Structure 1
Amino acid sequence: MRLGMGCIWLWTAYVSWYVYPQAESLDLLRRSGFTQYTEQVLAASCLLDLAMGTASCLYARPLLWYAQFVLVAGYSLVIALFLPEYLFHPFGPITKNISVLACLAFLALAERR
């Protein structure tokens, strides 16, 4: 499960920076309320995703899973509020985060033991 979470974060960082059109990413960020320093916000979020993925693979600790839980919940809340069309998207990009949050909660509890 740790490696799975790591792969999600690493893949997200890669796709966000290299694959998905950056102009569209910047537009999504602007629509989400990030109207200044948008390029830096995109770069920082990609670096944060990269760091979370690397830490998931190399440094599994409850604090990491809690931090990821808060980050995923925060991302999901921002998207739900500012980009509500993703709540009803047939591929479920936001609703699938419920499963990710459950996995992170499980990892946080399992690592404590």
Structure 2
Amino acid sequence: MHLDLTPEALLAQLGYTKNEQTLKQINNIIANTKGFEKFAQHIPSFNDALAVEKGFIAMSNSEDYLKIKCEEDSNADNLSAFTALVQHWAEKYKLELKQVDNKNTYYIIGHK
């Protein structure tokens, strides 16, 4: 089954309140992310999977991309599982990620 994920639905799935600012930001992210429509429908389930390892997907405040982030207080086991999950998802959906230097944060650049 294929679901079209609207910007409004994506905001809700990621826990954001829909308003003019967040709607503008998510639309900029969608427009800036190469091949977004090829993996968008998988974002909610990936976000749920990340939550188990204290991770989440959020809108970046500094760049027009979604970011995958792990909570700062995560232990080594969580970080290892988080990193493996991110790598698996990126390979499965052929995504280009950019890791933030010295952090467990990745920007979703787009489809390869």
TM-score of the superposed pair, with normalisation by structure 1? 0.35
Q: Which has the higher contact order (CA 8 A, sep 6+)?
A: 1
More strand by share: 2
Greater helix percent: which structure?
1
